[in-house]
């Protein structure tokens, strides 16, 4: 098997979702191919706290963050956002030129944040490197996504650059490109991979349960935590209201939760004998596998883990700034995969307390038969091998092959 190189751009600016999905894909691919080298480009310094395979390498770009108003700003006070994007774009291009990938996978943003990947896309196009756009199963409300992508020239970028579009889900649950004005040729390039199975082996090998938590327990996870304060507050209110809830509860606040709010939550949890709290666990997969039930917001990775570990789940989806979680959770509840509790703004403790009591005895996802529900990694491996195989004849032939693929319609 000849050496192969995969370059992954993960646009994460705040939160862990995109990075964790890209990491899962990379881990799965290198496990199947001992000669595959993967480079992940990320702006999250926190990436160093995750475990990676020796065949997976990291390039860090200057960090940026999205404000509550939806605008980006540089994490470093020494730069404004324009300087940060310029630096990120230069590093992305230089990484592509030095790493010389055989396949380029771009996560979610067709042109990257503020177009920062376009120079690398042009380089890949000129050198015959196949390009794939990876999308989660639900992006947003179709009308909102259409307007956002029109503003970002995303459709034009898909038509011009991408040889394939991988949707990490199933059309029976949702088609994220509904309402997007793609050409028939571009739509033929869409591949629904199905969902990405997770394993407790994906987590950090040294992950241990925070003291004094031992199974059985309910796991409460707001993901990265930057927008999960309402969920944690609601769970604490429920336990404060009903201290006889017969389950231990472990809350993982997430590394991006506001420090002041986290301190307040920790003080409240310390007064509840059946509640434990921690900030960050790199091996969430191992916690998921040990839990008796999951309380979460319904992000993509959490959904995959609930399916993979076959856990009864209570999802409280956010509805701002995107409807992604609400759409995914509503459809999953319709199918019987999980249970949803809608945030009523007031956060009355009784509904959450009742839901926590019932959670371990809810139906598990495996009670619903959906063929190929967790076949995502297998599909991605096949598609990656397809594109890698077109490069076996060398760079000159590869450029001709890639050009033929783009012109095949």
Confidence of residue 339 (pLDDT cuts 50, 70, 90): very high
| pLDDT, position 408 | 45
Looking at residues 374-380, what average pLDDT do you find? 97
- In this structure, what token pair is assigned to residue 366? 């495996």
Torsion of CA 48, 317, 360, 357, to 10 degrees: 120
Q: What angle do CA 243, 230, 200 make, to 5 degrees?
A: 80
- In this structure, what token pair is assigned to residue 152? 């970002």
pLDDT tens profile 185-226: 999 999 999 999 998 766 554 555 555 567 789 999 987 767
- HEC string of 216-268 equals CEEEEECCCCCCCHHHHHHHHHHHHHCCCCCCEEEEECCCCCCHHHHHHHHHH
pLDDT tens profile 54-72: 999 999 998 887 665 566 7
pLDDT tens profile 9-29: 997 666 677 888 999 999 999
Conformation bin of residue 83: beta by default, left when phi > 0, alpha when psi is -120 to 50:
alpha
Query: What is the Cα–Cα distance from 391 to 397, expressed in whole angstroms?
Result: 7
- pLDDT higher than 90, residue 8: yes
Looking at residues 357-362, what average pLDDT do you find? 96
List phi, psi (to 5°) of 102: -90, -15
- pLDDT higher than 90, residue 271: yes
Query: What is the tally of structural domains in the chain?
Result: 2
| pLDDT, position 155 | 97
Quote the percentage of the chain above a pLDDT of 70: 87
| pLDDT, position 13 | 61
- Based on the domain organization, do 252 and 125 belong to the same domain? no
Looking at residues 78-101, what average pLDDT do you find? 92
CATH code assigned at 193: 3.40.50.2000
| pLDDT, position 407 | 54
- Based on the domain organization, do 254 and 329 belong to the same domain? yes
Structural contact between residues 56 and 38, judged by C-beta atoms closer than 8 angstroms? yes
- Based on the domain organization, do 181 and 293 belong to the same domain? no
Residue predicted with more confidence, 342 or 93: 93
Listed residue (7, 50, 381, 2) closest to 206, CA to CA: 50
- Based on the domain organization, do 345 and 213 belong to the same domain? yes
- Based on the domain organization, do 174 and 257 belong to the same domain? no
- Based on the domain organization, do 280 and 135 belong to the same domain? no
| pLDDT, position 43 | 86
pLDDT tens profile 129-186: 999 999 999 999 999 999 999 999 999 999 999 999 999 999 999 999 999 999 999 9
- pLDDT higher than 90, residue 400: no
Looking at residues 240-256, what average pLDDT do you find? 91
- Based on the domain organization, do 253 and 164 belong to the same domain? no
- Based on the domain organization, do 90 and 191 belong to the same domain? yes
- Based on the domain organization, do 165 and 236 belong to the same domain? no
Residue predicted with more confidence, 83 or 381: 381
- Based on the domain organization, do 231 and 333 belong to the same domain? yes
Stretch among 27-41, 66-80, 160-174, 265-279 having the lowest mean pLDDT:
66-80
- pLDDT higher than 60, residue 231: yes
Mean pLDDT of all residues belonging to the chain: 88
Residue range of the domain that includes 190: 4-197+374-406
- pLDDT higher than 80, residue 391: no
Looking at residues 76-102, what average pLDDT do you find? 90
- Based on the domain organization, do 185 and 273 belong to the same domain? no
- Based on the domain organization, do 308 and 259 belong to the same domain? yes
SS3 156: helix
Looking at residues 25-35, what average pLDDT do you find? 94
């Amino acid at each position: 098997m000849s050496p192969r190189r995969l370059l992954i751009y993960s646009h994460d600016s705040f939160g862990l979702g995109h990075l964790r999905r890209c990491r899962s894909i990379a881990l799965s691919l290198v496990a199947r191919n001992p000669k595959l080298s993967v480079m992940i480009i990320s702006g999250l310094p926190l990436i160093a706290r995750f475990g990676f395979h020796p065949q997976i390498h990291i390039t860090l770009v200057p960090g940026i963050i999205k404000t509550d108003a939806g605008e980006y700003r540089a994490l470093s006070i020494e730069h404004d956002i324009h300087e940060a994007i310029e630096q990120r774009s230069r590093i992305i291009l230089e990484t592509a030129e030095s790493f010389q990938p055989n396949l380029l996978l771009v996560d979610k943003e067709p042109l990257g944040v503020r177009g920062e990947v376009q120079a690398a896309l042009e380089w890949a196009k000129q050198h015959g490197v196949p390009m794939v756009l990876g999308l989660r199963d639900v992006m947003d409300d179709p009308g909102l996504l259409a307007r956002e992508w029109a503003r970002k020239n995303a459709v034009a970028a898909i038509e011009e650059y991408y040889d394939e579009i991988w949707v990490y889900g199933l059309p029976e649950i949702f088609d994220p490109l509904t309402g997007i004005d793609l050409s028939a040729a571009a739509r033929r390039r869409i591949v629904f991979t199905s969902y990405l199975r997770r394993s407790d082996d994906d987590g950090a090998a040294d992950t241990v349960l925070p003291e004094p938590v031992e199974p059985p327990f309910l796991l409460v996870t707001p993901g990265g935590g930057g927008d999960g304060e309402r969920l944690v507050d609601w769970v604490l209110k429920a336990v404060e209201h009903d201290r006889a809830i017969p389950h231990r509860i472990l809350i993982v606040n997430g590394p991006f939760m506001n420090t002041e709010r986290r301190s307040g939550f920790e003080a409240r949890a310390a007064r509840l004998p059946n509640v434990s709290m921690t900030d960050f666990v790199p091996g969430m997969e191992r916690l998921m596998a040990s839990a008796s039930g999951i309380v979460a917001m319904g992000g993509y990775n959490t959904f995959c883990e609930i399916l993979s570990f076959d856990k009864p789940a209570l999802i409280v989806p956010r509805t701002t700034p995107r409807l992604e979680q609400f759409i995914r959770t509503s459809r999953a509840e319709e199918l019987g995969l999980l249970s949803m509790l809608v945030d009523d703004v007031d956060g009355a403790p009784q509904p959450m307390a009742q839901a926590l009591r019932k959670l371990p005895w809810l139906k598990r996802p495996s009670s619903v038969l959906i063929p190929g529900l967790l076949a995502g990694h297998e599909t991605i491996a096949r598609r990656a091998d397809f594109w890698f195989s077109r490069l076996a004849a060398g760079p000159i032939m590869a450029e001709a092959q890639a050009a033929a693929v783009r012109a095949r319609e």
